[in-house]
Structure 1
Amino acid sequence: MNKKSYSILAVAVAGSMGLAACGGGSSDNKSGGSGAEGSGGTLYYLTKKPAEHLDPQRMYIGRDLSNLGRLTYRSLVQFPVTEDKAKADKPVADLATDTGKMSDGGKTWKFTIKDGVKWEDGKDITCADFKYGLSRTFATDVITGGPNYAIGFLDIPKKGDAPAYNGPYKKEGQAEFDKAVTCEGKTITYKFNKAWPDFNLAVASLRAFDPYRKDKDKGDKSNYAIFSNGPYKLQGTWKKGTGGTFVRNEHYDAKTDGVRKALPDKIEFKEGLTNEIINQRLIADGGKDKSAITDRSIPPSMYGQIKGDSQKRSVNVESPYVDYLVPNFNKMKNLKVRQALLAATNQDAWITAGGGDKAFAPSYSIINPALTTAYAKNPAFTDVPKGNIEKAKKLLEGVPASEKNIKFTYSGGTPTADKQAGAMKDNWEKAGFKVTLNGLTDTYYDVIQNPKADGDVFWGGWGADWPSASTVIPALFDSRLNLTEKSNGQDYGNYKSDEVNKMIDEAAKKTSVDEAGEVYKQIDKKLGEDVAYIPLEIQKFYYLRGSKVTNYINNPATSMYPDLGAIGVSK
């Protein structure tokens, strides 16, 4: 997932746990807040990047998956609130009575919905709501940007290269969907065309399988509309670039929730603040900022200020996300040019410009080392740490000047990001490229998911959606998931390889995680030979928090972002 959820710890590696804390399970307070330390008050969440999607079926950024899964969107199963990494990736029941019943070798899953679980208007959550929520995923021309696993797994026949079903708005192929997802009372049954033994991990990691009320659906106009079934509801509207405020949901019953603590009475999100301003405020620790947290790492220029009290309020953790580059295969078709780009890439320069070892750890694969069954250092990337300018120059000999003009598109807008891009440009130009930098400052992934996006090289970040390379390699490089003219899924470089697609199918047939891992190692090697991507680093998070923040933990189940299922504020 795009700096989207993690379940490696447990993520989306992009990309995703026994019960350590319950959401007021023994309390009679139906609005949550069990009287534990940190119950009540207002928590402030300070950030820069606006949420791209708050629609559960479109959401695919780790921060937002983690936050909304704790605040407003409950799932059949959920990862527990815990710091224990050994428990963190083991789902527990949430809206379902248990963690699901698998049959037919993993091709069929059944869940029964709990009694007493309701939407924010007091109506019961039904099996039909779950079925409708999943159906929206198939409307790929409307519900764009989200995870599309269901499209490949549900037992729905193909119509050409696409599923015969095209979602609830056009309803073509509705009968086929109705066979694959069935309701009998409170029990929902999913039938897949191939084994999906870790389906409940996918449900816990992603919001795509969450329920959605048909009468609340306005298609693409629902992107920032939140209709809650969790402990909080949105007060008023969410304003992109500004944020929104969440307050208690009076129809939430904590006795049905064994996951969330739901401690603060109110949580205010403030978007549009720079990393520098956020961390200056947290270092100063005054007023409301004493009750504030953030998802924005401390900028390297401020490292020297983290001492004494502020150091005690900081945490530096390795994330599940691997940052990488992808050449745009629609434009950079010459293998020698891609090889030259790889040779001229200096990982050390990128890491140094980004803040050094407090900000990043080196990477040698698109697969995070935490995925031990599938990880191996990719032999194609032995030169990446320092780069090899002379090798790059030799590869570019005789290449037309037009093929050496490249536009580098990255998630910009911060001094650190722009400094890193500048360091990359310097090394590429030493090799003979002419580089234009294109730092996007508003939304990012929704731009580069357009196959016609203007760029020769794109930056990306990914972590496993749950602990399997099956949530990394196929999501990023299976060209058959490029479902529309408007979206390449997560294959931002528009890479297409019949050989890789065939090997992905081979890996999917393996019943052993270890056996599948060996196939993924070979796929990764092939991707390196094609220069389908270039690894940059494993991102580390360096966070500050206010002095009144209590029960602070990072969410190892999805992303290592602050876990709103645990955090509270003192009076």
Structure 2
Amino acid sequence: MTGQYGLNPTGCPKEREVLVRRPVRTLSVGILAVVLAAAGCSKNTGDDNATGSDQKATTQTATLADNSDGPAPEVPGAKKGGTVTIYTSGDFEHIDPQQNYVVPAQTTGTNLLYRSLTTYRENGDGKLEVVGDLATNTGEESNGGKTWKFTLKDGLKYEDGTAITAKDVAYGIARSFSPDLPNGPHWWAQWLSGDADYNKTYKGPYNGGALVPPNTQVPDDKTIIFNFPEPHADTPFAAALSTTAPVPQARDTKIQYDNRPFSSGPYKIQTYQRTQKMVLVRNQYWDPKTDPARHDYPDSYVVDFTRTAEQASQLLISDAGAAASSLTFQDMTIPASVYPKAVQSAKDRILTGPDQFVWQINFNTQRVTDLKVRQALNYAIDRQGLLKVWGSYAGDPGTTLLSPTTSGYQKYNAYDGGVTGNVEKAKELLGGKKVTLTYGYRNTERNQAIAAFLKSSFAPIGVNLNIQPIDEDQYYTVIGKKNNQFDMYMYGWGSDWPGAGTVIPPLWDGTRITPEGNNNTAYLNDPKTNAEVARILKLSDLTEQDKAWAALDKDIMTRLAPTIPVIYDKQTTLYGSKIGGIYLSAPYGNSGLNNLYVK
């Protein structure tokens, strides 16, 4: 998933657990091996370099839940009432469930607005289960992992009281095939079609297309069956993506569905003023007895898109009025200019801990075709300086494609220019050549500062970086277009269900490149890499898979240098004193909303 980017309510956990799920494909999918990275929490001393790097890994096990019944366990001390305000950086790119793939919108959608076949049950104590959400369980597997059957629960209703049916789930997945809706996860379309080019024979339900996607059966209103061409033991995890959220055909407004998705969750949209705010109120037809993971404690949620990170942080530090029951999202990390004041005045209200995101500066390899240029900039990157602009407390230097929290990660640095970069080595690679490149950046305070920093730091090696803003609510849409006019841009990615198989294939497999909605925004289309991705995905031994992903990670960087890995992300945001039930969500790397209440 793309990032913009538990904990107990005091802000610092005893141990932060980042899940790396490994489905056991050779056995029953009911048991999964889990690696938990117990990461030290920084002490919030005000030191900009306090990165909490005292991390260690432990190995535990987790299971797919045997019981998916609701209601969700009550949160101690929680009560109903009040309004929670969320400050997030700019409007959501997409709130349509089939296009929703950026963390702030994803958290809002999956926690509050709509339900999927499965979901995650967590409360910040380190225990995380996959449970049946709309479905009675996490799926029934047969045919060697190729066939998956889901049965819907009784009593599921939309915001108007009409019943949610299996046909609506199938229709939602069918929508994800549409070229008109290109920006969501592509797992379901690729798996059901058996092809990275999933539009060869089916383009969704519009313009006369079938209402049910390929290899899908809906024998009745309660049953949906998927017959994949290949085994997919990861299906319970993929089913937790909002791709499987139901959409009633009569309510489908196609690309306009982004403005008003129809609620199947505990809240519904009351008003949505683009670029200003979204107001959510309770969905009276949501039945907590059917929901194993969510609550509806607050009377309403207000998502405020108008504040800068500095303004939001100042409001939360003051803890006055509405700010006392507010929080910032992952994309509103405390700015470096405000951080010392935050730890002095509100250190017990800082949500902090490592997450699964890696931030990288991608080259558009269609345009930046000279390998030596890409290698030179990898040597020249000043990670120490960049982290100061980013906020050293909000990340650690990154040099790999895989996050340290991800199964298969191995530490290396293919272009070790030291912490501040090696200008002479970069100049040597360029051989005196002057290069002009266009860098597109998400138009926020933080990214403006990063763009300016990169421009100045690359100038000594003879690279003129022409920096150009992109509207923040269009950023991933713009750079996801194959014909975009930028040479470089920053890209954040976290695994959909942590494991290298949800990182390397979507980001670096060239067979998955489409005209729009690309996750491979480096537009790398290397035959050797493509073939290796295909080979690794067929391995049934997960230990061998891990080794192979690690080797491919290093090979891509060493041989092709399509990106500059720069930061392993850390969540560092603020919340008000009246916010209860907050924690850092492992699947999303963001503040979990399902247990929130106003004290």
Deviation at 1:249, TM superposition (A): 0.7
Tell me the equivalent position of 1:434: 464
2:569 paired with 1:534: no
Aligned-partner SS, 2:551: helix
Tell me the equivalent position of 1:100: 139
Tell me the equivalent position of 2:203: 166
Partner Cα distance (1:77, 1:341) in 2: 43
Deviation at 1:179, TM superposition (A): 3.7
Deviation at 1:105, TM superposition (A): 2.0
Distance 1:308-1:350 versus aligned 2 partners, 3 A rule = closer
Distance 1:451-1:217 versus aligned 2 partners, 3 A rule = same
Partner Cα distance (2:590, 2:72) in 1: 27
Given candidates 106, 110, 132, the residue that maps to 1:65 is: 106
Deviation at 1:421, TM superposition (A): 2.3
Report the number of matched residues: 544
Given candidates 308, 312, 328, the residue that maps to 1:278 is: 312
Partner Cα distance (1:138, 1:340) in 2: 39
Q: Is the 8 A contact 2:190 2:198 kept in 1?
A: no
Given candidates 220, 229, 232, the residue that maps to 1:193 is: 229
The letter of the residue matching 1:275 is A
Partner Cα distance (1:396, 1:385) in 2: 21
Q: Is the 8 A contact 1:107 1:194 kept in 2?
A: yes
Distance 1:37-1:161 versus aligned 2 partners, 3 A rule = closer
Tell me the equivalent position of 1:30: none
Tell me the equivalent position of 1:25: 71
Given candidates 155, 171, 177, the residue that maps to 2:213 is: 177
What are the equivalent positions in structure 2 for 1:129-278 lying under 5 Å apart? 129-140=168-179, 142-155=180-193, 162-172=199-209, 174=210, 177-204=213-240, 206-236=241-271, 238-278=272-312
Q: Is the 8 A contact 1:23 1:260 kept in 2?
A: no
Partner Cα distance (1:233, 1:54) in 2: 12
Partner Cα distance (1:535, 1:179) in 2: 38
Q: Is the 8 A contact 2:358 2:565 kept in 1?
A: yes
2:161 paired with 1:122: yes
Partner Cα distance (2:517, 2:326) in 1: 37
Deviation at 1:148, TM superposition (A): 0.8
Deviation at 1:26, TM superposition (A): 8.3
Tell me the equivalent position of 1:47: 88
Distance 1:157-1:273 versus aligned 2 partners, 3 A rule = closer
Deviations 1:295-336 (A, max 9, x none): 112111112212455111122211211100111112111111
Deviation at 1:289, TM superposition (A): 1.0
Q: Is the 8 A contact 1:55 1:222 kept in 2?
A: yes
Partner Cα distance (2:114, 2:191) in 1: 23
Given candidates 551, 560, 564, the residue that maps to 2:589 is: 560
Distance 1:308-1:427 versus aligned 2 partners, 3 A rule = closer
2:412 paired with 1:366: no
Give the structure with the larger strand fraction. Answer: 2
Deviation at 1:9, TM superposition (A): 3.0
Q: Is the 8 A contact 1:182 1:190 kept in 2?
A: no
Partner Cα distance (1:512, 1:422) in 2: 46
Aligned-partner SS, 1:80: strand
Aligned-partner SS, 2:237: helix
Moved more, 440-449 or 374-383: 374-383
Partner Cα distance (2:159, 2:237) in 1: 26
Tell me the equivalent position of 1:519: 548
The letter of the residue matching 1:110 is K
Deviation at 1:196, TM superposition (A): 0.9
Deviation at 1:479, TM superposition (A): 1.5
Q: Is the 8 A contact 1:62 1:559 kept in 2?
A: yes
Q: Is the 8 A contact 1:12 1:462 kept in 2?
A: no
Given candidates 525, 530, 539, the residue that maps to 1:496 is: 525
The letter of the residue matching 1:148 is H
What are the equivalent positions in structure 2 for 1:386-405 lying under 5 Å apart? 386-397=420-431, 399=433, 401=434, 404-405=435-436
Tell me the equivalent position of 2:40: none
TM-score calculated relative to the size of structure 1: 0.90
Deviations 1:203-258 (A, max 9, x none): 22x2112111111111112112120011111113x222112111111111111111
Which stretches in structure 1 are left out of the alignment for 5+ residues?
Answer: 28-32
Tell me the equivalent position of 1:3: 3
Deviation at 1:566, TM superposition (A): 0.7
TM-score calculated relative to the size of structure 2: 0.86
Please tell me the root mean square deviation across aligned C-alpha atoms, in Å. 2.6
Given candidates 357, 364, 386, the residue that maps to 1:350 is: 386
Partner Cα distance (1:109, 1:23) in 2: 20
Tell me the equivalent position of 1:341: 377
- Percent identity among equivalent residues? 29
Q: Is the 8 A contact 1:156 1:165 kept in 2?
A: no
Deviation at 1:540, TM superposition (A): 1.5
Q: Is the 8 A contact 1:4 1:463 kept in 2?
A: no
2:152 paired with 1:113: yes
Distance 1:229-1:70 versus aligned 2 partners, 3 A rule = same
Partner Cα distance (1:151, 1:324) in 2: 27
Deviations 1:342-370 (A, max 9, x none): 111121111122222x1111212111111
Partner Cα distance (2:345, 2:579) in 1: 14
Q: Is the 8 A contact 2:167 2:212 kept in 1?
A: no
Partner Cα distance (1:288, 1:22) in 2: 36
Partner Cα distance (1:385, 1:181) in 2: 55
Aligned-partner SS, 1:91: strand
Aligned-partner SS, 1:537: strand
Tell me the equivalent position of 2:493: 462
Partner Cα distance (1:210, 1:264) in 2: 23
Deviation at 1:23, TM superposition (A): 10
Distance 1:490-1:4 versus aligned 2 partners, 3 A rule = same
The letter of the residue matching 2:119 is Q
Distance 1:457-1:521 versus aligned 2 partners, 3 A rule = same
Aligned-partner SS, 1:267: strand
Partner Cα distance (2:69, 2:273) in 1: 28
Aligned-partner SS, 1:459: strand
Distance 1:412-1:23 versus aligned 2 partners, 3 A rule = farther
Aligned-partner SS, 1:208: helix
Partner Cα distance (1:176, 1:188) in 2: 10
Q: Is the 8 A contact 2:355 2:405 kept in 1?
A: no
Deviations 1:128-155 (A, max 9, x none): 0011000011112x11211111222114
Q: Is the 8 A contact 1:156 1:163 kept in 2?
A: no
Deviation at 1:60, TM superposition (A): 0.3
**Where in structure 1 do 4 or more consecutive aligned residues deviate above 4 Å?**
10-13, 21-24, 33-36, 155-158
Partner Cα distance (2:254, 2:20) in 1: 28
Q: Is the 8 A contact 2:217 2:226 kept in 1?
A: yes
Tell me the equivalent position of 2:538: 509
Deviation at 1:4, TM superposition (A): 7.0
Partner Cα distance (1:306, 1:50) in 2: 25
